[in-house]
Amino acid sequence: MWKWIQAFASPQNFYRISKKIIPWFLYPFIALTLVGLYWGLVIAPIDYQQGESYRIMFVHVPAAWMSMFIYIVLAVSGGIGLIWQIKLANVVAKVSAPIGASFTFLALVTGAVWGKPMWGTWWVWDARLTSELILLFLYLAYMSLGNAFDNPKTASKASSVLAIVGLINIPIIHYSVTWWNTLHQGASVSSVEKIAAPAIHPDMLMPLILMSISFKLLYGALMLMRARDEVLIREQNMRWVKNVIMEDGK
């Protein structure tokens, strides 16, 4: 088992297999996004309270979910990198960070643009909004810490520790709307009571689900594409990398 995982996670194997996997993320991403956008912007009915404005949800909520999902990926692969010293785990963590930061940025911006017409303000310092902003700072700190060392091994170690420490923020973001009084509303879909009977009409839930799957696929595609190049850089003294580069463009 142990040997098998290490063989599978060898950089060279990853480089070969990932090339075949990427289209399986990329094309479904495009298809699901088109269907999701059409459903969310055209088919979905208006909301009884918020009218048309709630349509921002179809990008806001998937982006916010991704911001937390990718952070968990950072921490878990950081932990795997620390304990088992699997090179690939460190690569995945490193290339995921800017993608996660982008989704966090999107969650914050689309949230502000949604908050203005509905709440009456772009921003408040309530527990949900503040903890999501802290998440963005954690991503930025993670990225700059990873770039602060010349030795990629030391960089991976330091940033993995930071990712694990910052993991505490994830349950805080998720439960902020239950633990404290916030301006932000509670969870419509992602809570234990709501998962069986979401507080959202099926015609509005479908585009939300489609868009969140599409964002997951987008992350998968981007992460694999970036991981392939990162692997080449880290393994540049290996014979197989030289073969890959020299055979490219022939």
**Under rule CB under 8 A, residue 246 binds other proteins:** yes
Smallest separation, CB 145 to other proteins (Å): 15
Token readout for 154 is 């030391």
- Comparing CA positions, the residue from 219, 12, 212, 216 lying closest to residue 96 is 219
Among 3, 4, 20, 49, contact with other proteins (rule: CB under 8 A): 49
Print the binding letters for residues 149-188 with other proteins: x by CB under 8 A, - otherwise. Answer: ------------x--xx-xx---x------xxxxx-xxxx
If one asks whether residue 23 binds other proteins (CB under 8 A), the answer comes out as no
Which is nearer to other proteins, 148 or 233 (by Cβ)? 233
How does 227-243 read in b/e, with b if 16+ C-beta sit within 10 Å?
Answer: bbebbbebbeeeeebee
User: Is 200 among the residues that bind other proteins (CB under 8 A)?
Assistant: yes
Q: Does 73 bind other proteins (CB under 8 A)?
A: no
Collapsed DSSP state (helix, strand, coil) of residue 132: helix
Which residue has tokens 């408040």? Answer: 124
Q: Which one of residues 204, 210, 216, 217 is an interface residue with other proteins (CB under 8 A)?
A: 204
User: Which pair of tokens denotes residue 241?
Assistant: 């990398």
Residue 2 contacts other proteins per CB under 8 A: no
Query: Which residues from 88-127 bind other proteins, rule CB under 8 A?
Result: 98-99, 102, 105-106, 109-110, 113-114, 116-121, 124-127
Whole-angstrom Cα distance, residue 38 to residue 32? 10
Whole-number CA gyration radius for the chain: 20
